[in-house]
Structures are given as structure tokens and as C-alpha cells.
Amino acid sequence: MKHNVKVVPSVDAVSVLFILLCTWALAWAQWTNAAIDTITNTQVRKETMTQSLCIDDSGMVHLVWKQERTGGWRIFYRTNSPSGTWGAIQEVGDSSQAAFDPAMAWWSATSIPFVVFEQDLEIFAALLNGGVWQAEPITANAQLDRSPTIAIDGTAIPHVAWITDDSISGQYKIAYAMGYLVGPYIHWETQTLAGSDLGPYGTGAAPFISVTAQGVAHIVYRGGDYGNYHIHHTWNTAAGDTNWSYEILYSGNANDFSASMFIENEGDCHLAVSGNDGWGFPGRVFYFFKPFGQPWQQYELASSAASAVQPSLSVDANGMPHVVWMETSGNFYTGNIYYSAKDTADVWTNSLVIGNDYFTPSFAVDQLGYGHVACHTGGNTSIFDIYHVKSSEVLTYLEESKDTRVGAGPGVTLGLSPNPVQDYTYISYNTTVPDNVVLTAYNSLGAEVARLVDEHRTPGINRIVWYPYGLSAGVYFLRLRSGGSEQAVKCVLLPR
């Protein structure tokens, strides 16, 4: 397949500076005029969870939450249309059975949302099939099973982790399952992670799972004993493997209680951790980053001087982390939800998303770079509802501004705009020595899909237009090599 490339005049430095200044001016206005949708309108207690929100391949938002009814909690779901109109509320699972702690992910293989939840001390999975929710158990035992978390890998296999009361050791452990689609059914292969240490109060371990594109599972959870809690990280070496490695991650907090993880397709790990220095001390959110095949880098304080707990982490198409969290005052939640990201000086900075009576945010950045937050009210006002908040501006300005600085840095520099890409994108690149220049596009599996430039060039700034005809929507990488230097930039191709 031939991919059209057109050479256009070089970009001038004044234009680059103008783009940078305009981008910087918008830096912290993303939530000032956010769109706020009230998802429910009944004065019954409702609560969101850390994985209550997901965004599908077309940009539609899906929400799931738990809601009180006679006989206990139930699970409910709602989504919007491509035009942004919210559809009818649906109940997930058996309406006669109490259900708790839903977590949701988008199952791209079948273009449906996938929900896991606790019911009758077992873990259930539910799929929206033909407009009707169908649930089936993942576990069937006499043990306590609770707090499920879900992720789906690049081959469309679902992975679930939860807390179990292990009958062999008599201790709380992390359990894990992979699901294989067998005809219309899902076959689950489950295992208990013997090396997981949740302590005597392990029901509060708050596990969170993320997986690589190849299906390697990473699970983070609160481990250890009371007064010595830290985030434990466990991972296997291949999809479905029963051999697990374990490590303890130490942040700047004396104790850590919850974490949210995001793994990019190429294997880079992002982690947000929250905890405090003891009862009544302010909480803090720390950010960890682990490039694929390398050790964890030194953690960074993501919440600056604010008192912050219960982070929800998302990573944009450019690989930049974004975190939302709840503010606290002493041991009490204020009802304010904040957003943290790095500014143009590479410093973590906070801004208010929504305030006064909003709790337990679930957060995701969509393909276009807009932020989405699901949360619930009622902690301060006893007015119980579910809300969806969408940022008024894209959150990806930082990486785009870096990409646009085509004249900066030694060796080679590469940038593209717009990104994400729908029909075409402008690619700017700079070289500092006369040499052969190779600019190549790869898919997320590392296969070359287009060679855009392969010729000798004199030093300077060049610009081309790339029309990625024939490529399916997804994540791609542009790699520039010249004079012994190289740079790669992630590119997200949207559906046409």
C-alpha cells in the first residue's frame, strides 16, 4: 500500500513560538468551563468506583455505579450516543441480588462494555449482549471474594483480579483470572497468588489491574500490616503464566493505601499512589514511571501542597500522565475533585475539576485528548447523584508543545500536528548534521507500515504531510533517525 506524502514549505520560528505561547496560555483552563452532565435524578444513595468510567473506540462514554435498593446495593449503567445524548439507565446483573463494587472496561473485540462486580461473595462478569445485560459467575466457592478490577489486553482477552479469603492459607490473598471466549461463553482460568501479602485487614487492599498489549498482567494493591501499609506490585511473565514476581513500592508517604496504574502498548508503566503520614496528617499523591525493560524512576509528588487521596490515573496518546484525586482536610473529604498534570516547566500543577460535594472520581482521557471524570455526590449534602464531567479543553498541550519545538535539542527533533490524526497530519522534523534521514511509521507491534522519508538531507527544518490511507485506527509510532541520533513520537489514528 502506498502512503501519500507531500512536501510543504518549512515552518518558521515565529510560527513555532506563537503555537507555544497560545498552548501555554490554555495550560490550566481545561476545566474552567467543563461540560457537566447529571446522569441520575433520584434521591437514592449512589456511588462511583475507581473504574466506573470507560471510553470506547468511537469516543462514547460508558458509566457504571452502585445504587441502594431494598435488600442492598445494585449495579446500574448508562452510556451516551455519538451526539452526546445519554440513553436510558439499565440495571446490570440480577435485580433480586445485592451487588457491589463494579469495575468496567471496553471490550473492543465485541464492541461492548464489560463489567465485573461482587454478588453473594462471588465475582461476576456481565456483558451487554443485544442491548440486554447478561451476567455469569467467575468464581463459585465458599470463600469471600470482593473488590474486582478489570483490564483487557491487545488481543481482546479480559483479565480480572480481586481479593479472596484463601482457604489454604487462611489469609487474604489476591486472586486472578483470564477469560477465553469459547463460542458464546467465556471460560475463566483462575489462580490465587500465594505470594501476595494483604495482612489481617486485607479486605481493604483495593487491587487495581493493568495489562500489557501482549497480556502480561500487573496488579497493584495495598499490602502489609496496619501501620506499615505500602503498595505492592506483582506481575507474571507471560499471558496466563502462574509464575509471579513481587515488589514493594515506597513513596514519600509513611503509609500508602490505594493506587491506579496505566500500561502503554509498548510496556511503559505509569502509577499513581496515595497515602499519608498517619491519622489526621495530609494525604499526598505520588507518581511513578517505569520505562519498559528499565527500573522504576524516582517518584514525583503529583499533588504538590494539596492534601490528596484516591487517585485515578490516565495517560494520553502522547504518553503523558494525568491524575485526578479527592481533596481532604484532616481525615475528611472536602468534596473537591482536583486534576494534576505537568506544566510547560515539567512541574506538577493542580487545578479544580469540580467542587463542594463530589467524590470517588473515575478518570479517562479520550482519543482527542479531552478528560472525562465520573463521580458521585451526597457526602456533604445528602443529594445523591452520578455526574459526568468533560474538560472544556484538551489536556495534551504539554506533549504537543514539545513536539512542535522542531528547532530544539541536539541531533534530531520530531513533531506532528494534529495528533490524534484522522485524515492527515503535518510532520515537522529538524536535523543538525548533513546525513541520510529516515522517517518511518510503525504499528503498536513494531511492524513498519510506511517509510515516509529515506534520503540525504542538509541540516535544517523540514515539513511533510502524511495521509495514512489504508491503516486501521489505533496507536502508531513515528521514528526519525539521522546522524546517529533518533527520536520517536506516538501517533494515534482515529476511525474515519
pLDDT for res 28? 56
pLDDT for res 401? 33
- Asked whether residue 397 carries a pLDDT value surpassing 70, the answer given is no
Look over the chain and give the mean of its residue pLDDT values, rounded to a whole number.
88
Q: Where are the alpha helices (DSSP H) in 329-428?
A: 397-404
Burial letters for 307-339: b for 16+ Cβ neighbours within 10 Å, e otherwise?
A: bbbbbbbbbbbbbbbbbbbbbbeeeebbbbbbb
CA angle 424, 430, 431 (to 5 degrees): 135
Exposed (0-12), middle (13-18) or buried (19+): which is 140, by Cβ within 10 Å?
A: exposed
Q: In what order do the strands lie in the sheet with 172-182?
A: 145-152, 158-165, 172-182, 185-193
Asked if 180 contacts 157 with a C-beta cutoff of 8 angstroms, the reply is yes
pLDDT for res 82? 75
- Domains of the chain listed by start with CATH number: 5-24+399-493 (2.60.40.2550), 28-392 (2.120.10.10)
Mapped onto helix, strand or coil, the DSSP state of residue 25 is helix
Mapped onto helix, strand or coil, the DSSP state of residue 409 is coil
CA angle 66, 160, 139 (to 5 degrees): 80
Identity of the amino acid at 334: T
Provide CB contacts within 8 A for 113, sequence distance 6+: 54, 56, 62, 64, 77, 79, 104, 105, 106, 107, 127, 128
Per-residue pLDDT of 224-238, as tens digits, reads 999 999 999 999 999
CA 345 and chain centroid, separation: 23
For the segment 266-293, the average pLDDT, to the nearest whole number, is: 93
- Asked whether residue 23 carries a pLDDT value surpassing 50, the answer given is no
> What is the model's pTM?
0.78
Q: What is the largest CA-CA distance in the chain?
A: 75
Length of the chain: 496
pLDDT for res 411? 65
- Asked whether residue 21 carries a pLDDT value surpassing 80, the answer given is no
CA angle 279, 283, 284 (to 5 degrees): 150
- Asked whether residue 47 carries a pLDDT value surpassing 90, the answer given is yes
pLDDT for res 191? 97
Residue 42 exposure: Cα atoms within 13 Å on the Cβ side: 9
Q: Which of 8, 13, 10 is nearest to 408 (CA)?
A: 13
CA angle 381, 387, 388 (to 5 degrees): 155
Mapped onto helix, strand or coil, the DSSP state of residue 24 is helix
- Asked whether residue 418 carries a pLDDT value surpassing 80, the answer given is yes
Exposed (0-12), middle (13-18) or buried (19+): which is 417, by Cβ within 10 Å?
A: middle
- Asked whether residue 445 carries a pLDDT value surpassing 90, the answer given is no
The verdict on whether omega for the bond into residue 418 sits within 30 degrees of 0, i.e. cis, is yes
Strand partners, 67: 46, 74
The least confident of 62-66, 161-165, 242-246, 492-496 is 492-496
Kindly state the percentage of the chain with pLDDT values over 90. Answer: 63
Exposed (0-12), middle (13-18) or buried (19+): which is 151, by Cβ within 10 Å?
A: buried
- Asked whether residue 409 carries a pLDDT value surpassing 70, the answer given is no
For the segment 20-36, the average pLDDT, to the nearest whole number, is: 65
The least confident of 145-154, 306-315, 431-440 is 431-440
91-95, 246-250, 280-284, 476-480: range with highest mean pLDDT: 246-250
Strand partners, 271: 261, 288
pLDDT for res 476? 87
- Asked whether residue 18 carries a pLDDT value surpassing 60, the answer given is no
The verdict on whether omega for the bond into residue 420 sits within 30 degrees of 0, i.e. cis, is yes
- How many angstroms separate the CA atoms of 101 and 108, rounded? 23
- How many angstroms separate the CA atoms of 479 and 143, rounded? 51
